[in-house]
Structure 1
Amino acid sequence: MRDLETFIAGLPKAELHLHIEGSLEPELMFELARRNNVALPFGSVDEVRAAYAFSNLQDFLDIYYQGAAVLLTQQDFHDLAMAYFRRAAADGVRHAEIFFDPQTHTARGVPFAVVADGLLSAMAEAEADLGVTSKLILCFLRHLSEDEALATLDEATPYLDRLCGVGLDSSEIGHPPAKFARVFAAARERGLRLVCHAGEEGPPAYVWEALDVLAVDRIDHGNRSLEDEALVRRLVDLGMTLTVCPLSNLKLCVVNDLSAHPLKRMLDLGLTVTINSDDPAYFGGYVGENWLQTARALSLTEADLLTLARNSFTGSFLSPDEAAPHLAAIDALAAK
């Protein structure tokens, strides 16, 4: 194989599983805390990083929500997103489909419009200045009620033409996808695409529910699908994209070692998998680092990496015409 780091850096990529609030680096967290006069439960950047020792998803979420408290103004959300886009562009990301959690902010009194307008302005700037296109996906917090999710969807009505889809994130265990059947049906009626976190910590049954009850277009994570052979066959037959997040899985103890990550097996089984960074400020790496560390740990071949790059665009919500130039660029790189 050509030099691995250079090859991965040069591969055009789409990132399909990125929580924008999870890209809040400690340095920016402290900058925004000073800007907004918000007290943090940490004394320094080093103290924040020392707290990033998680044993499960909930450990992470507790700190994630504390950090989000510094995000108050439209400029804050703009600056947060632009910091991510600069890192993504440096990693060869040409398109990103980013999640945001409006309920995290509206519960603190931050208006939906402040959040959305800040993110959308950064998305426009990233396309103009960095050449990175993007789409915005509204995620519902699954530990809250479906009625609250329905209220959030109603609140998003003025922005539906600028949203790509809706998703479901936060605490997975005990909050199955079927809990949100009505709000996902309502989102589909409004013309939005549907994605859902399932099979990260939750069982394969959650993936079945995401497919059969929510009728999703894409599965976020999906690792535990491998425990159910019939489910694997179903996902392969559907060509269902799984947005896998290797360093996140390692940091949250979904796997004990990156060499034990199931991504290579997923590829070999014919699943349409992609590599993404999830919450990169908390999980030790943006998308390029996820690609590089995973490729080394699993001895991925050049053909594997090219497949992953193609999957990232074919699994995106870009139209075929929009995806075509990126796929052509991958093919050209493969032919060199």
Structure 2
Amino acid sequence: MYQFITGLPKVELHLHIEGSLEPELMFKLAQRNNIEIPFANPDEVREAYDFSNLQSFLDIYYQGAQVLITERDFYDLTWAYMLRCKADNVLHAELFFDPQTHTARGISFDTVMKGLTNALADAEAQLGISSQLILCFLRHLDEASAFDTLQQAQLWKDSIVAVGLDSSEVGHPPEKFARVFAAARKQGYLAVAHAGEEGPSSNITDALDILQVSRIDHGVRCVDDPQLVSRLIEEKVHLTVCPLSNTKLKVFQSMEQHTIVDLLRQGVSVGINADDPAYFGGYMNDNFTAVACAHTLSQKELGQFTCNAIDASFCGLERKLELHQQLQAYMDSQ
């Protein structure tokens, strides 16, 4: 099965680019920018990646982002991730980025965007990987900060396909950002939101009804509400599930307890994603393999994860057709 997974075409819709900062690159950028970090070597960083919940992860996640200063830093970060996409046969990726994490440190929005977009353009030209950018608002910050970030994005509107909502879910429900999302939709952005990871299933319903999102990031707590599961199936709402992240952050105690396969078999549109792979122990192939090792899955079911992600992606119809054709060609060859 591992050989099949390695060759399987993939589409990633839930990836925080700041969460792909590997310890080695963290140290390289810290030295380049003369920034002190509280670790002696990359191994010490990895030893710190023992999280008890979402907040314990976020604390070290924001600490790591401090080394990102220049356009070159953001380019190197993004290029490193796209090389991992190439290695894992990811054909299309939609990347979250958190501008508030950087602008709060005095890094300009333009610096972040130039680094990201140049790397993504090079990845499409040199690696054949298409991509989209999703601007995420940090939900632990206030509405005013989100509105300010939306305003800063104006000059880069053509490079950003959607807005999202991430960071600490508990205590920061979707309705906190209702007006920001309404303004973003009016400007032509699509919308997604993290919901139902550590927060209740009602956050998923509110993200759909109040924020009017196109898909839900995580969404695994939907199983607590059978009527919601039925709605997700009927309305073909896609869940960007992140298996290794969910077990690392104790959303599930083990991969065997994860509900992604049950949801797939019920007809919910679910996909497999890496979330913050540098922190959670794996990129796309690792996540697919972890699920396949814990659950008995057919090749058709593994391929369905990619099929669902293609349909839920924000790329154009022509690119979707290309992706479906590549997936079908691979499935037919097995």
Q: TM-score, normalised by structure 1?
A: 0.98
Q: Aligned-pair distance for 1:171?
A: 0.4
Amino acid at match of 2:287: N
SS at match of 1:69: helix
CA distance in 1, matches of 2:211, 2:272: 24
2:38 aligns with 41
Amino acid at match of 2:128: G
Moved over 3 A (4+): none
Instruction: Spell out, residue by residue over 1:211-247, the C-alpha distance to the aligned partner (whole angstroms, 9 max, x if none).
Output: 0000000100000001001100111111001000000
CA distance in 1, matches of 2:108, 2:122: 22
| 1:314 counterpart (304, 307, 311) | 311
SS at match of 2:67: coil
Summarize the alignment of residues 44-59 of structure 1 with structure 2, pairs less than 5 Å apart: 44-59=41-56
2:146 aligns with 149
Q: Aligned-pair distance for 1:293?
A: 1.3
CA distance in 1, matches of 2:187, 2:5: 38
2:220 aligns with 223
1:159 aligns with 156
Superposition CA RMSD, Å: 0.7
Q: Aligned-pair distance for 1:6?
A: 1.6
2:250 aligns with 253
CA distance in 2, matches of 1:71, 1:291: 30
CA distance in 2, matches of 1:334, 1:281: 30
CA distance in 2, matches of 1:184, 1:66: 28
Amino acid at match of 1:18: L
| 2:12 counterpart (12, 15, 18) | 15
CA distance in 1, matches of 2:315, 2:18: 23
CA distance in 2, matches of 1:334, 1:94: 15
1:168 aligns with 165
Q: Which moved more, 1:293-302 or 1:51-60?
A: 293-302
2:321 aligns with 324
Does residue 199 of the first structure (1) align with residue 196 of the second (2)?
A: yes
CA distance in 2, matches of 1:10, 1:206: 36
Q: TM-score, normalised by structure 2?
A: 0.99
CA distance in 1, matches of 2:2, 2:268: 25
SS at match of 1:96: strand
Instruction: Spell out, residue by residue over 1:227-274, the C-alpha distance to the aligned partner (whole angstroms, 9 max, x if none).
Output: 001100111111001000000001000111111110111101110000
Does residue 272 of the first structure (1) align with residue 307 of the second (2)?
A: no
* Percent identity between the two aligned chains: 55
Q: Aligned-pair distance for 1:20?
A: 0.1
1:95 aligns with 92
Amino acid at match of 1:246: P
2:302 aligns with 305
Q: Aligned-pair distance for 1:332?
A: 1.7
Instruction: Spell out, residue by residue over 1:271-307, the C-alpha distance to the aligned partner (whole angstroms, 9 max, x if none).
Output: 0000000000000000111011111111111111111
Q: Which moved more, 1:294-303 or 1:217-226?
A: 294-303
Instruction: Spell out, residue by residue over 1:123-142, the C-alpha distance to the aligned partner (whole angstroms, 9 max, x if none).
Output: 00100111111000000000
Does residue 129 of the first structure (1) align with residue 126 of the second (2)?
A: yes
CA distance in 2, matches of 1:268, 1:32: 44
Which stretches in structure 2 are left out of the alignment for 5+ residues? none
| 1:72 counterpart (69, 72, 81) | 69
CA distance in 2, matches of 1:121, 1:114: 11
1:232 aligns with 229
Instruction: Spell out, residue by residue over 1:2-40, the C-alpha distance to the aligned partner (whole angstroms, 9 max, x if none).
Output: xx1121111111100000000000000000000000000
Amino acid at match of 2:148: A
| 2:107 counterpart (107, 110, 119) | 110
SS at match of 1:274: strand
Amino acid at match of 1:75: R
Q: Aligned-pair distance for 1:44?
A: 1.4
